[in-house]
Structure 1
Amino acid sequence: MNKLLLVSISCALVELSAPTPVLAQSAGEPITVKPYAEIRYRLELVDQEGVPENATASTARFRAGLKTTEWHGLSALIEGEAIARLGRRHYNDTVNGRTDYPVVADPSDILLNQAWVRFKPSKEVEAIVGRQTLNYDNQRWVGSVGWRQNDQTLDAARVAVKPIAGVTAEYSYAWRVNRIFGPNSMQGIWRDSDIHLLRASFEVKPVGTLTAYGYFLELPDAVALSSKTVGIRISGDQKLSSKAKLLYYLEYANQRDLSPNPRSFSHDYLLIEPGITVGAVTMKLGLERLEGDGVTALQTPLATLHAFNGWADKFLSTPADGLRDGYADMSVKLPLIAGVKGTTLRLQYHDYHSTRGDIAYGLEWGGLVVAPINKWLAATLKFAHFNADRFATDTTKLWFALDAKF
């Protein structure tokens, strides 16, 4: 799409404040088009040992879209976004060549983020085709990487059915991956992909939700990441008292090579995460294991990787010797502070080792505060420090962000 046209559409959307009728059904209510807009400002600071300069990335993202109501089961959405650098280019955005600075993967761009058509003839059946975000479960295998300024989207067709209460089955076929690095990066788009995503979930009372999946990725633009993964996941909770609740997440998967990958391998994935909620406090202990054999390792290239293995992003790619992440996570919903309700405080600790040879990779601490200012504006302050042992280098990151939704 022409960049000037996208800018014109975005500016026009800001001036709109109410749904606009555009077409009447043959019977019933008219179709309406609802505009929406989001603005995110973020300052990201990175101090990484071994890189000559510290990164300072001041960026803003403006996103706007139009979404229709349903007409005989049909609806549609189109969404564009602009990502702009504010200030000097004191960071490596992966396309500007500033390798003397640490990476902050938010390159400037203007692009089409989503454009899809949905058909929902009944509440039991839904089909959607076009450019779309796709988030499965906790986004460990498939996610939109919402933390970065540019989403990861798929050009895909998806069908979901709910044949009986508590059962959902879905299948997605994707032929293109639009990655967070943008179209100007050599790794920004994976074209001519052959991606099959199958997933079924079952509500098993009183245990929780059981999910089985099979993800088959043929990636000609990233052959070493082509794989087939089959797994099962269970998540649930049990009430302990009027204020306490037991939480649990268990997952196992096996990943094997798939053509055009030239390597042959079979790696296991394991997640064990018990937790407890008492009033406004939630505490979790976890063990995540991604197996490696010294040459290859289990990878999750379509995941929202920032959400796993620490916010310092040292393990976006699993080391060849594998990764074992033992972690603790605590979040607290704070009471009313200075007239603001809903502020959340979160703390993390990670202890990283290899699955092969038990190599000590390092430790990491992280903290997060999210504070809603009003119904449309929220502020975020986030911190992470990776203390390297026998992998990577010491890295400290700090973020401040403002998110506004209209």
Structure 2
Amino acid sequence: MKQQFLKYSALAVLLGAHPFVAATADEATSFTEMFTKGDAKFSFRYRYEYVDQDNPQEIAKASTLKSRVTLSTAAYEGFSALLEVDDVSQIGNERYGTPSNGKGGQYSIVADPDGTTINQALLKYTNKYFTGTAGRQRILHSGQRFVGGVGWRQNEQTYDSFRVELPIGPVNVDYSYIWDVDRIFGPDTNGHAQPRRFDSDSHALYVSYSPAEGHKLGAYAYLLDFDNAHSMETIDNALSSQTYGVEYSGKFGPITVAAAAASQTDYGDNAVDYDTEYYMLELGTTVKGVGLGVGYEELGSDDGVKGFVTPLATLHKFQGWADMFLATPAGGIEDMYFKVTGKVAGVALAAFYHDFEADESGPNDDYGEEFDAVATYAVNKNLSVQLKYANYNADQLFVDTEKVWFSVMLNF
């Protein structure tokens, strides 16, 4: 850890002495000023993750540090550029499994392999009519249920893509052609159980419209085709899908409402011929500063053979933080959940309860239940700490799983 601290402290000093770091909101008046009026940001996230599962594997204890440097230019004639580099370092002994370290048979998995990666590298052009971005970039659609960045993990998911964002009156159109998905599994996973990248020939379209203040409508089309030439090919093809859906979020007096529906079929080189649906409804309110919510989410199944898939989602946000359902079971999944949020003495608190069942009847109808809780405290605008907990109680699927995370986040 000391070596990493010295490494990035020295980098910060060097960049701080360079004119690139002279941050300003002003546009550049020359090509040179793109850099002299540019900006540099640094972020660090230390995390300790504990995973205890009711299986022969040993308890995982992962201590990792993510260090990020983000360099951005000022805009000149509408053009700007950004480069972001992430390094994930193991702190102490490697007592956890990853898809690439060969310890998955001994320890439970923690999907935070070490390594240094280019997280973003892009060129952007913006005017009053549209924004175009080319290169490796972050793409977050709506609540990240279908396209997201998996920012919870130390390695973020980003996209090699060309993206166009068009504001047309009250309508916003967001389209991306994605030729490569840079996944969360680090730079050394090719040839292992999880590939570093998905070779992609995919289209992602999200259109949003606000008919009135406090109300938002969205429609989306995701045509995803993945084709990796190694042992993951069969799985990649099984993830190739076309999804069309709509969503709504709004407020009626003290009640908030979120709802979505989508249909999905096979696409591209997917050898499985299937047709299934997705539904979500969530209601919420606030009583004396305490947020209360209840929701239902269904990822359907086609006759118990193939379930609805969301391979580009920020999956950790959904269906429990224990991450038991990163891959949708063949029988689909129904998730009835309740949540409570609030704040005590400056500490933001949240708790969830999930009850999981299959969408299609079969030998494993009742998947289990899960309790999640998190406490986050912002020390100041640059520093925050977080304690997070997940407990999955298995019934007819998977095994009992308990996870604890402690994180410290520093940004400047």
The TM-score, its normalising length taken from structure 2, stands at 0.89
Select the residue among 326, 334, 340 that pairs with 1:316: 326
For the residues of structure 2 that align with 1:223 and 1:373, how far apart are their CA atoms? 46
The amino acid of 2:204's aligned partner reads: L
State the match for 1:182 in structure 2: 186
Is residue 210 from structure 1 mapped to residue 211 from structure 2 by the alignment? no
Query: For the Cα contact (< 8 Å) 1:66–1:79, is it kept in 2?
Result: yes
Asked if 1:270 corresponds to 2:285, the answer is no
TM-score (norm 1): 0.91
Q: Does 1:386 align with 2:397?
A: no
Contact in 2 for aligned 1:49/1:394 (Cα 8 Å): yes
Partner of 2:22: 19
Give the C-alpha shift of residue 71 in structure 1.
Answer: 1.0
Label 1:280 to 1:97 Cα distance change in 2 as closer, same or farther (>3 A). Answer: same
Cα deviation for residue 120 of structure 1 reads 0.4
SS in 2 for 1:162: strand
**What CA RMSD, in Å, does the superposition of the two structures yield over aligned residues?**
2.1
Tell me the equivalent position of 1:171: 175
Q: Which amino acid aligns with 1:223?
A: N
Aligned identity (percent) is 38
Taking the aligned partners of 1:197 and 1:62, their CA distance within structure 2 comes to 30
Matched, 1:34 2:44: no
Q: Return the offset for 1:214.
A: 0.2
| Cα distance, 1:301 vs structure 2 | 0.4
User: 1:234/1:93 Cα in 2 relative to 1: closer, same or farther (>3 Å)?
Assistant: same
Report the counterpart of residue 355 of structure 1 in structure 2. Answer: 359
User: What is the rounded CA distance, in whole Å, between the counterparts of 2:165 and 2:107 in structure 1?
Assistant: 44
Deviation digits for residues 348-385 of structure 1 (CA, Å, limit 9, x no counterpart)? 00000000017111010010001001120000000000
| Of 285, 289, 294, the match for 1:280 | 289
> CA 1:11–1:280 in 2, change beyond 3 Å: closer, same or farther?
farther
SS at match of 1:200: strand
Measured after TM superposition, the shift of residue 283 of structure 1 is 1.2
Q: For 1:154-165, list aligned pairs within 5 A.
A: 154-164=159-169
CA gap 1:10/1:261 in 2 versus in 1, 3 angstroms: farther
AA partner of residue 324 (structure 2): K
Change (3 A) 1:250 1:20: closer
Q: Which secondary structure does the structure 1 equivalent of 2:306 belong to?
A: coil
CA displacement at 1:131 relative to structure 2: 0.3
Question: Which residue identity lines up with residue 245 of structure 2 in the other structure?
Answer: G
State the partner residue of 2:242. 228
1:31-76 CA-partner distances (Å, limit 9, x unpaired) = 6110100000000000011133100000001000111121111111
Determine if contact 1:324/1:352 at 8 Å carries over to the other structure. Answer: yes
Residue 48 of structure 1 pairs with residue 29 of structure 2: no
Query: 1:3 maps to what in 2?
Result: none
Check the 8 A contact 1:13/1:36 in 2, yes or no.
Answer: no
Contact in 2 for aligned 1:384/1:396 (Cα 8 Å): yes
Q: 1:9 to 1:405 in 2, by over 3 A?
A: closer
Structure 1 segment 7-406 matched on structure 2, within 5 A: 11-13=10-12, 15-17=14-16, 18-19=21-22, 25-26=29-30, 32-98=37-103, 99-122=105-128, 124-164=129-169, 166-186=170-190, 187-205=194-212, 208-221=215-228, 222-238=236-252, 240=253, 245-292=254-301, 293-334=303-344, 337=345, 341=346, 343-357=347-361, 359-406=365-412
**Cα gap change, 1:373/1:176 in structure 2, threshold over 3 Å: closer, same or farther?**
same
Query: In structure 2, what is the Cα distance between the partners aligned to 1:135 and 1:51?
Result: 37
Q: Which runs of 5+ in 1 are unaligned?
A: 1-6
Gaps of 5+ in 2: 1-5, 229-235
Larger CA deviation: 26-35 vs 69-78: 26-35
Aligned equivalents of 1:207, 1:16: Cα separation in 2: 42
Distance of 2:50 and 2:285 partners within structure 1 = 33
**Is contact 2:73–2:80 with CA below 8 Å preserved after alignment?**
yes
Q: Kindly provide the CA deviation profile for residues 298-328 of structure 1, in whole angstroms up to 9, marking residues without a partner as x.
A: 0100000000000000000010011000000
| Cα distance, 1:68–1:54 mapped onto 2, change above 3 Å | same
Q: CA deviation at 1:183?
A: 2.7
Structure 1, residues 151-176: CA drift from partner, whole Å, max 9, x if none?
00100010011110x21012100100
Instruction: Report the number of matched residues.
Output: 386
Secondary structure, counterpart of 1:12 in structure 2:
helix
